[in-house]
Chains A and B, each alone.
Chain A
Amino acid sequence: MTTEPPPDAHAAFSAVALTAIDDVYRFARSLTRDEVDAEDVVQETYLRAFRSWHTFETGTDVRRWLFTIARNVFLRSREKGKREVTLDDDGAEIVDAALAREAWSRGGLDTILERADLGPAISTALAELPEPYRAVVVLVDLEDQSYESTAEVLEVPIGTVRSRLFRGRKLLQEKLMQHAIDSGLIPQPTAPVRSTE
């Protein structure tokens, strides 16, 4: 399919779709966990979006539309999802361990949450989140997508979005705590911090 939008649609594509490239890039990074693969996904996403621009409904959320295309591109690049990682069971064990340490770790984490220099640590911790949690956390917490929109993009029930989001956020807190300790933002707590991976 090589349908090309009419010329007057090019400006709309530029103004509406291309301005969301940062969001598409972040989502692609969350899917691929690889810079080169993410760039390929972003490029292919925009090519498909351009050719399918006539199917975009003006007034709807263009990011939701682009995220859906990006995920399809990613799955296609992974042989239609055969290599999609599903770590629900293993992930649950990781989260259980994180929750067990939550009570003492929260106190330390709470003291640094409003620091202006926390951004890189959060980005690193996000990048280390395992799937299927990372995509949900990125879509809801970074891209401000609703549970419903996230469920649609990822093709899972809303209940799955809710449970993955809870687990993903707890894992993220655990990883953020560890990064904060490693980088000296907060002191090593008295209780041992074990790796979650």
Chain B
Amino acid sequence: MNHGHGSDDRTGAAAMDCAGAMDRLFDFLDGELGPETEVRIRQHLEKCGHCFDEAGFERRFLAAVQAARAAEVCPATLRARVRDALRHAGWTEAAGS
């Protein structure tokens, strides 16, 4: 995802320090940065072991949260209830839907 945080990219090509990289770490991991800032953070992480470890931890944490998504699904009773309500409202259930 890139939603055009253009101001992030107007800071020039100076090397990014640890504070700057950590301040934008979640934006980086979420793919929410402009391309120039993303490159600068990537370059910083390649050079800084501490920040590299921080990024690795947050990346693993976010992956674990995403994996937990499958644990919570809509109960079958609610699916049936919604379909019943929709049918009552005029919805026609196609075969196989």
Contact = CB atoms under 8 A, between A and B. Distances in A.
A7 B97 contact: no
Interface string B40-65: 00000000000000000110111111
A166 B22 CA distance: 11
Given A39-B81, A50-B89, A147-B1, 13 more contacts: A14-B91, A25-B72, A25-B78, A26-B72, A43-B82, A46-B82, A47-B86, A110-B57, A113-B57, A126-B65, A142-B65, A146-B32, A165-B26
Nearest to B85: A43
Contacts of A110: 57, 60
Interface of B: 1, 3, 26-27, 30, 32, 57-58, 60-75, 78-79, 81-83, 85-86, 89-94, 97
A113 B97 contact: no
Contacts of B58: 169
A126 B79 CA distance: 23
A13 B77 CA distance: 20
A148 B78 contact: no
A11 B97 CA distance: 8
Nearest to B63: A113
Interface of A: 4, 7, 10-11, 13-15, 18, 21-22, 24-26, 29, 39, 42-43, 46-47, 50-51, 106, 109-110, 113-114, 118-120, 122-123, 126, 137, 140-144, 146-148, 158, 162, 165-166, 169, 172-173
Contacts of B78: 21, 25, 39, 42-43
A50 B86 contact: yes
A22 B97 contact: no
B68 A113 contact: no
Contacts of B75: 25, 39
B26 A169 contact: yes
Given A42-B82, A46-B82, A10 B94 contact: yes
Contacts of A25: 72-75, 78
